[in-house]
Structure 1
Amino acid sequence: MDLDALRSRRRGEWDRLDELSRSRDLSGADVDELVVRYRAASADLSDIKTSAGRTQLGDSLSVTIARARHRLTGAGENVARQIPRFFALQLPAALYRLRWTTLVIALATIGIAALSALWISADPALIATLGSKAQLQQYAENDFTDYYEPGAAFAGQVWTNNAWIAAQCVMFGVTGIFPVYVIMSNAINLGVAGAVMLAFDRGDVLILSLLPHGLLELTSIFVAAAAGLHVFWAWVVPGRRTRGESLASAGRALATTVIGLILSLALSGLVEGFVTGQSWPPAVKITIGALALAIFLVYMLVVGRWATRRGETGDLTEYEAGTPTLYAG
């Protein structure tokens, strides 16, 4: 192949391709021309590489073609500029979608825990199966409250444990079984602990110890279970989309939700690590816990509703998820 002859014959077309790819505003006709010239230049580059291998002309044309491809598929957005949009729109919208499922899970958990606690505490034979009287008394009068030791190490341990529970709900949510298992297991464990405390007339200690951090902590776990079940439902009932498209969309929204859960569990861990174990008046500790929950609920329900009305779904944008769509502008 005579590269000089090819350069002379195609220079005008390549220059026009470069001009179009650098233009900020393209009309519909310009986009059509850009696509045509992009394909022609790609064919020329293929011929050059096939006949002459790597050459200076080929490298120069590759740069022009890359710029044209970038123009057709969309310019990348600044990641730093995406952060405000993520927290103002995407994350609250993703959480808002889970509101009713979260409520159902919360009511079911509280109901199962309460019934388990009342049923077991009312039957001495069932209480006896949990351990000796001395062991249970030690747990009710000392171990339960001694668990909440103020400090950063404890807060970090709590955060890690709760994040792991939430992660399991997320990772295995597509099964539809694991989130239910986690919620049932936590509800029954809470009921058993409540039964022991009630059996030794320490029900008030149970409530006052759980409320400061438990309000937000349990809500976060409920949201994690709800997110996992939504992925399962998207797989089972994809609607008008293909099963793969429905599952991919739900999975991307779930990835958004995970970030919110990491932050909310971090906040509940701070409350549990630095507030629950303090010798402050119960009203002060519960008020702090209620305030932490209120912040989360306002973000989820109020900000989430506003974001949803603006068309957000919690899914990633085309830039973040990747898209083959060509557009002009």
Structure 2
Amino acid sequence: MDLDAYVAEHGAEWRRLEDLSRRRRLNAAEADELVALYQRAATHLSLIRSRSPDPILVARLSRLVLAARNALTGSPSFSFAGIGRFFTKTFPLSVYRAWPWWCGVATVFSLLSFGLMAYIVAEPSAAGYFFTDDEINQLVNQDFAGYYSEYLPQNQFLRVWTHNALLTGMCLASGVAFAPVVYLLFFNALNVGLIGGVMIAYGHADVFFGLIVPHGLLELTAVYIGAGVGLRIGWAWVAPGPLRTRGRALADTALEGILVALGLIAVLFVSGLLEAFVTPAPVPNILKDFVGFVVWALFLAYVFLFGRKAHLEGVTTETPGEIREAALPAA
């Protein structure tokens, strides 16, 4: 692409768009012209980014497109209706669309974890490859149960909420590169499988499941969703489909990923409350496990019921009022 010729050809349009974007009042004809020029400039920006990404020109057009969009849609304002739409339509829809990915992640993670547990139970000596006898004794008799009562509940809540949010965010963000999220998932599956296997093999299965199930079902599901959505973003780049460019496919899927990340903060908030206040509670383990299972089942029902409903209604994840660039590059 000859950038100089391209700028010379479309420079007048960009200057006109800049002029219209700065005006406080537009008549009907000028408003229509602004929309048309905005769409063309957005397409020009996409074309330049993909074929000849000159940083100065990209920055100029990005600023111009953003200014034009603000002129068209206005500045976003806080709205309870928007929050309601997010939690009843946008977030569950985004998670629902990615369900084959995160269900696949959950299946592989569970097979690896439970397979390792079964192996450690069948061959307790194998734990010696990872832990010394003193470490095993410390883990079984003190560390595992003590972890959940080491801090005050409110401190434990903030600690696990931020840690789990970071882990889930890393899984989601690194999914586009595939290998990093596979490493993160493998490391965590190995950790769960080893600790679970040791606890079960040494006669503390009730302690292990009694302490990990109340919060772990919801917490791990959030991690699976983050990893699955991240992998879906990466796959959108590899296989964008017949009607989208790679950049458009990546942008669309990444937008849904951002929405999922925001929603998972709330999900992990709930799992953090469970881990801080329910898991160490002085009540029978069966009761704590029941509470954790009910919360987890409600979340899955929420995702599939609300998500499927939004999908059938044709709800989109686009920001209301957003004007998309032209589907085909403009010359």
TM-score by length of 2: 0.74
Answer whether contact 1:121 1:127 (CA < 8 A) is retained.
no
Matches within 5 A, 1:226-245: 226-239=228-241, 240-245=243-248
Q: Secondary structure at the match of 1:319?
A: coil
The two structures, once aligned, show a CA RMSD in angstroms of: 2.8
Determine the structure 2 residue equivalent to 1:181.
Answer: 183
For residues 1-329 of structure 1, the aligned pairs below 5 Å read 21=27, 31=28, 35=32, 73-74=72-73, 78-80=77-79, 81-149=81-149, 151-239=153-241, 240-313=243-316, 315-317=317-319, 319=321, 323=324
- On the 8 A contact 1:77/1:319 being kept in 2, the answer is no
Higher Cα radius of gyration: 1
For 2:148, give the aligned amino acid: Y
| Alignment check: 8 A CA contact 2:158 2:272 kept | yes
Which whole-Å CA distance do the structure 2 matches of 1:193 and 1:122 have between them? 14
Q: Matched residue of 2:148: which SS?
A: coil
- Maintained 8 Å contact 1:215/1:290: yes
Q: Is the alpha carbon distance of 1:85 and 1:133 closer, same or farther for their aligned partners in structure 2, counting shifts above 3 Å?
A: same
User: Could you list the runs of 5+ residues in structure 1 that have no partner in the other structure?
Assistant: 1-16, 22-30, 40-68
Q: Secondary structure at the match of 1:172?
A: helix
Deviations 1:259-311 (A, max 9, x none): 11101111001100001011111222112212221232122110111111111
Q: CA deviation at 1:125?
A: 3.6
Q: Are the structure 2 counterparts of residues 265 and 18 from structure 1 closer, same or farther at C-alpha, using a change threshold of 3 Å?
A: closer
SS at match of 2:244: coil
**Kept after mapping to 2: 8 A contact 1:76/1:319:** no
Does the 8 Å CA contact 2:96/2:308 hold for their aligned counterparts? Answer: yes
Residue deviations 1:138-173, cap 9 Å, x none? 211221111111511011111111111111112211
Tell me by how many angstroms 1:122 deviates: 2.5
> Does the aligned pair in 1 maintain the 2:233–2:250 contact within 8 Å?
yes
Do the aligned residues in 2 keep the contact of 1:227 with 1:254 (CA within 8 Å)?
yes
Report sequence identity in percent: 32
Deviation per residue, 1:77-129 (Å, 9 max, x gap): 64414222222211111111122222221121111111111213332442222
The unaligned stretches of length 5 or more in structure 2 are 1-22, 37-67, 327-331
Cα 1:141–1:234, aligned 2, differ >3 Å: closer, same or farther? same
> With structure 1 as the length reference, what TM-score do the two structures score?
0.74
The 4+ residue runs of structure 1 with deviation greater than 6 A are: 17-20, 36-39, 69-72
Which shifted more, 122-131 or 202-211? 122-131
For residues 76 and 123 of structure 2, what CA distance do their matches in structure 1 show? 63
Residues 148 and 273, structure 1, Cα contact 8 Å, conserved in 2: yes
Change (3 A) 1:106 1:71: closer
Number of positions where the alignment pairs a residue of Structure 1 with one of Structure 2: 269
Instruction: Indicate the SS of the match to 1:201.
Output: coil
